[in-house]
Amino acid sequence: MRALSLSRRSLMIAPAPLNPGDTAALVAPASPLTKDEISFAEESLKKLGLIPKTFAEAVPPSSAYLSAPDSLRAASLTEAFLDPAVKAVFCLRGGYGCSRLLPLLDPEVFRRNPKLFWGYSDITALHQFFNHTCNLITVHGPMPAKPSFLAAPGLISLLFEETLSRPGSFTDCGKPSLSFGDPFFLSEEHADARGKLTGGNLSVLCGLLGSPWEPDTAGRILFLEDVDEPPEKIDRNLTALRLAGKLQHCSALILGAFAGCFPSREQELSFFREHFADAPYPVLFGFPAGHIGCNHPLPMGAMVHLSRRPLLTTF
């Protein structure tokens, strides 16, 4: 089995598929977790036939908003990648704290030890680091401390098959979650695009503007999601991206779940139509990924083709 696969087109390193019995690390690079949450995550990996190795300790939520000091969280993440027994690294939760780790991480360590990396929400900051600084393809998806992890569409193929390294269909979204209708393009004129997939949580991405790890969106397909932010905050963050030149030259935009951000689905659609009515590229509305029960995994850093059906393919 190859240790890694290098996409000739994108020059990105795709992680090797896992095998039953492989060791998978659990890390907490952001907010703290309880002992029960860590145990739940360990059991989730065991149900998949993986051996969990936890690089985190339980912290009472009332005691801190970070799972550990920055230096310790950065060291744990680095240790997980350096451990030759570990074949994949799963984040336990988001919250806050990943952006504080970026200056403490050595890109060369991760380039030389590529592994499957998985998480979302605040983990967006680490996806930016791995995708743009280390040239690693990662997975934006639900984390094993929650039931949504084992229910993730395409979970088995992503973990145990060469889904991330071979061209072909990645997803047609399967059956949408109950709170989502089928995703659709805001304009019938624009419904086809190719590019490297980037993005993640809108608030986290805006927090990286002006830093060495700010999102590079030119010619890329940008995915955005957020949770529990009022419309004016979403507006402010989109405006920040636009003023920074991050929305003008995308290949396409995928709008995921904005859970708890709008009073109704109709108001959400109206809001995004107003913002992207004149976008010169495809804008896909309602992709089922983000802070929802059916959080569809996405291959961050991979070259993808966005079209009507199948909706998203790697190439």
CA-to-CA dists, residue 138 to 105, 115, 236, 280, 302, angstroms: 16, 9, 28, 28, 8
Catalytic residue among 127, 291, 296, 305: 291
Q: Are 127 and 3 in contact (CB under 8 A)?
A: no
5 tagged catalytic: no
pLDDT digits (tens, 9 = 90+) for 67-122: 999 999 999 999 999 999 999 999 999 999 999 999 999 999 999 999 999 999 99
Sequence-distant (≥ 6) Cβ neighbours of residue 285 within 8 angstroms: 183, 184, 185, 186, 255, 269, 272
N-to-C CA span, the chain? 21
Which token pair is 102?
């970026």
* % of the chain exceeding 90 in pLDDT: 81
**What pLDDT score does 125 carry?**
99
State the DSSP H helix or E strand holding residue 136, giving kind and residue range, or none if neither.
Answer: none
Catalytic residue among 10, 31, 76, 121: 121
What would you report as the CA-atom Rg of the chain, rounded to the nearest whole angstrom? 18
**What pLDDT score does 60 carry?**
63
79 tagged catalytic: no
Residue 291 has pLDDT above 80, yes or no: yes
Which token pair is 124?
């967006």
Residue 235 has pLDDT above 60, yes or no: yes
Catalytic residue among 37, 42, 225, 268: 225
Model confidence, pTM: 0.92
When pLDDT is averaged across residues 233-247 and rounded to a whole number, the result is 99
Topology (CATH level 3) of domain 170-314:
Glucose Oxidase; domain 1 (3.50.30)
Please state, in angstroms and rounded to a whole number, the distance separating the CA atoms of residues 120 and 203.
12
pLDDT digits (tens, 9 = 90+) for 157-193: 999 998 887 766 555 444 433 344 578 899 877 788 9
Interior angle at CA 80, CA 140 and CA 216, nearest 5: 40
Residue 310 has pLDDT above 70, yes or no: no
Find, among 121, 174, 144, the residue nearest to 25 by Cα: 144
Write down the mean pLDDT value for the chain. Answer: 90
Sequence-distant (≥ 6) Cβ neighbours of residue 108 within 8 angstroms: none
Please give the torsion angle defined by the CA atoms of residues 143, 148, 149 and 152, in that order, rounded to the nearest 10 degrees.
Answer: -130
pLDDT digits (tens, 9 = 90+) for 40-55: 999 999 999 999 999 9
Within the chain, strands assigned E span 4-6, 13-15, 23-27, 51-55, 86-91, 116-119, 138-140, 168-171, 184-185, 193-201, 221-227, 252-259, 283-285, 298-300, 303-306, 312-314
Please state, in angstroms and rounded to a whole number, the distance separating the CA atoms of residues 164 and 137.
8
CATH architecture, domain 4-166: 3-Layer(aba) Sandwich (3.40)
Give start-end residues of each CATH 3.50.30.60 domain in the chain: 170-314
189 tagged catalytic: no
